[in-house]
C-alpha cells in the first residue's frame, strides 16, 4: 500500500514529482471489520492492528443494521483520549453516528486530521465497547513523506 511512497533517489526526480502529485487526493475506503462489519464480540483492536497503517483522508465505513426486533443497536462514538479509550468511558465522548446510520452503504467517516482517533460503540453505557470489544484506535499517517 505504501509502495508509492517508496520512491528511491535512483528512480529520479521526475518520478518523485509525479508520485507526489498522485499522492495528493489519493485515499482508501476501508470497511471497519471487513466482512464482519460492526458487531458485538469481534476484536476490532486486532482488526485495526492487522489493517494498519491507515492514512490521512482515508474513509472508514461502519456497517451495522438499524435496530429492529431481532438486531441489537450499535452506534459510533469518538472517545476523548487514550485514558477514556482504555476504560470505555463514554462521558464527554462525541457521538458521530446514531443507531440508524450504519444501514445501507454504512456510515462513512473521513480521517482528516493528523491525530489519534478513538472509536467505540456507545451502546449499553460502554458494555459493547468493554465486553463486546467494539473499539479501536487509529493514528492516520501522512501518505507520503517528502524527503
Ligand X SMILES: *[C@@H]1O[C@H](CO)[C@@H](O)[C@H](O)[C@H]1NC(C)=O
Cis peptide bond upstream of 53, omega within 30: yes
Q: What angle do CA 66, 70, 71 make, to 5 degrees?
A: 40
Q: Which residue has the cell 451502546?
A: 123
Rounded CA-CA distance 141/57 in Å is 9
Residue in 11, 18, 29, 45 binding ligand X, rule: CB under 6 A: 45
What ranges make up the beta strands (E) of 39-92? 59-62, 76-78
18 binds ligand X per the rule CB under 6 A: no
Q: How many residues make contact with ligand X (CB under 6 A)?
A: 15
Cell of 50: 492487522
Nearest approach in angstroms of CB 136 to ligand X is 10
Using CB under 6 A, which residues numbered 72 to 131 contact ligand X?
none
Region of 33-41, 62-70, 72-80, 86-94 interacting with ligand X (CB under 6 A): 62-70
Chain residues binding ligand X by CB under 6 A are 24, 43, 45-46, 49, 56-57, 65, 68-71, 133, 142-143
Amino acid at each position: 500500500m505504501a509502495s508509492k511512497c517508496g520512491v528511491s533517489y535512483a528512480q529520479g526526480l521526475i518520478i518523485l514529482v509525479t508520485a507526489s502529485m498522485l499522492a495528493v487526493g489519493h485515499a482508501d475506503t476501508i470497511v471497519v471489520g471487513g466482512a464482519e462489519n460492526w458487531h458485538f464480540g469481534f476484536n476490532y483492536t486486532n482488526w485495526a492492528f492487522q489493517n494498519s497503517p491507515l492514512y490521512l483522508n482515508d474513509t472508514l465505513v461502519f456497517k451495522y443494521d438499524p435496530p429492529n426486533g431481532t438486531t441489537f443497536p450499535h452506534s459510533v462514538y469518538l472517545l476523548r483520549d487514550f485514558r477514556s479509550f482504555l476504560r470505555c468511558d463514554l462521558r464527554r465522548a462525541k457521538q458521530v453516528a446514531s443507531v440508524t446510520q450504519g444501514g445501507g452503504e454504512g456510515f462513512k467517516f473521513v480521517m482528516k486530521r493528523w491525530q489519534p482517533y478513538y472509536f467505540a460503540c456507545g451502546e449499553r453505557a460502554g458494555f459493547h465497547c468493554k465486553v463486546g470489544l467494539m473499539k479501536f484506535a487509529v493514528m492516520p499517517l501522512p501518505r507520503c513523506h517528502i524527503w
